[in-house]
Structure 1
Amino acid sequence: MRRPSLRRTIALVTAGFLLPSLAACGADEQAGGSEGGDSSLVIYSGRNEKLVQPLLDKLEKAVGTKVEVRYGDSAELAAQILEEGERTKAGLFFSQDAGALGALSKEGMLEKLPQATVEKVDRAYRGSDGDWVGLSGRVRVIAYNPDKVAADDVPDSVFDVVEPRWKGKVGFAPTNASFQAFVTGMRVLKGDDATRAWLEDLKANGAKTYAHNLATLDAVEAGEVSLGLVNHYYWYERVAEKGEDKVDAKLHFLPGKDPGALINVAGAGVLKGSGQSEAARKAVDYLLSKDAQTYFADKTKEYPLAAGVTSTVEGLPAFESLESPDIDLGELDSLQETLAMLQDVGLV
Structure 2
Amino acid sequence: MKRTRRAGLVAAVLAVVLAGTVACSGGSDEGGGTGDGDGSLTLYSGRSESLVGPLVEGVDVGVTVTPAYDKKAAQILEEGEHSPADLFFAQDAGELGALAMAGLLEPLPADIVDRVPATYRSESGGWAATSARSRVLLYNPSKVPAADLPAGIDGLLDPRFRGQVGYAPTNPSFKSFVTGLRLIRGDDAARDWLTRFMANEPKAFDGNGPLVKAVDDGTVATGLTNHYYWVQEVEEKGIDAVASRLHFFADGDPGALVNVAGIAVLKSSPNKEKAFDFVRAMFTADNQKYFTTEVGEYAITGDIPIPVAGIPPLLADLHPPTVDLDDLADVAGTERMLTEVGAV
Structure-1-length-normalised TM-score: 0.90
Rounded to whole Å, the distance in 1 between the matches of 2:30 and 2:16 is 24
**Conserved 8 A contact 1:134-1:266:** yes
Partner of 1:108: 103
1:7 aligns with 2:13: yes
Give CA deviations for 1:275-322 in whole Å, capped at 9, x if unaligned: 021111001100111111011111001000024544344332111201
Q: Which consecutive unaligned segments of at least 5 residues does structure 1 have? A: none
Alignment of 1:1-348 (within 5 A): 3=8, 5-7=11-13, 31-38=30-37, 39-59=39-59, 62-73=60-71, 77-319=72-314, 320-348=316-344
Give the 3 Å change call, closer, same or farther, for CA 292–180 of structure 1 in structure 2: same
Task: Tell me by how many angstroms 1:118 deviates.
Answer: 0.8
**Conserved 8 A contact 1:10-1:336:** no
**Conserved 8 A contact 2:88-2:264:** yes
Rounded to whole Å, the distance in 2 between the matches of 1:29 and 1:125 is 37
- Residue identity over aligned pairs, in percent, reads 44
CA RMSD in angstroms comes to 2.2
Q: Which amino acid aligns with 1:344?
A: E
**Conserved 8 A contact 1:121-1:307:** no
Rounded to whole Å, the distance in 2 between the matches of 1:290 and 1:279 is 20
**Conserved 8 A contact 1:102-1:333:** yes
Give the 3 Å change call, closer, same or farther, for CA 276–310 of structure 1 in structure 2: farther
Give the 3 Å change call, closer, same or farther, for CA 222–54 of structure 1 in structure 2: same
Rounded to whole Å, the distance in 2 between the matches of 1:130 and 1:197 is 35
Rounded to whole Å, the distance in 1 between the matches of 2:138 and 2:82 is 44
Task: Tell me by how many angstroms 1:123 deviates.
Answer: 0.2
Q: Which amino acid aligns with 1:168?
A: G
* Equivalences, count: 333
Rounded to whole Å, the distance in 2 between the matches of 1:148 and 1:206 is 17
Give CA deviations for 1:41-67 in whole Å, capped at 9, x if unaligned: 1111000111111111111xx211101
Task: Tell me by how many angstroms 1:10 deviates.
Answer: 6.4
Give CA deviations for 1:220-262 in whole Å, capped at 9, x if unaligned: 1121111110100111111111111110111101112100010
**Conserved 8 A contact 2:104-2:266:** yes
**Conserved 8 A contact 1:297-1:313:** no
Rounded to whole Å, the distance in 2 between the matches of 1:86 and 1:195 is 35
Task: Tell me by how many angstroms 1:211 deviates.
Answer: 0.5
Give the 3 Å change call, closer, same or farther, for CA 58–346 of structure 1 in structure 2: same
Rounded to whole Å, the distance in 2 between the matches of 1:10 and 1:202 is 32
Q: Which amino acid aligns with 2:332?
A: Q
Give the 3 Å change call, closer, same or farther, for CA 242–311 of structure 1 in structure 2: closer
Task: Tell me by how many angstroms 1:346 deviates.
Answer: 1.1
Rounded to whole Å, the distance in 2 between the matches of 1:201 and 1:120 is 42
| 1:53 match: secondary structure | helix
Structure-2-length-normalised TM-score: 0.91
**Conserved 8 A contact 2:216-2:242:** yes
Q: Which consecutive unaligned segments of at least 5 residues does structure 2 have? A: none
Rounded to whole Å, the distance in 1 between the matches of 2:16 and 2:200 is 31
Give the 3 Å change call, closer, same or farther, for CA 29–295 of structure 1 in structure 2: farther
Task: Tell me by how many angstroms 1:326 deviates.
Answer: 1.0
Q: Which amino acid aligns with 2:8?
A: R
Rounded to whole Å, the distance in 2 between the matches of 1:34 and 1:46 is 17
Rounded to whole Å, the distance in 1 between the matches of 2:193 and 2:109 is 41
Give the 3 Å change call, closer, same or farther, for CA 203–276 of structure 1 in structure 2: same
Task: Tell me by how many angstroms 1:68 deviates.
Answer: 0.9
**Conserved 8 A contact 1:9-1:336:** no
Rounded to whole Å, the distance in 2 between the matches of 1:34 and 1:170 is 45
Give CA deviations for 1:74-94 in whole Å, capped at 9, x if unaligned: xxx211112211211111110
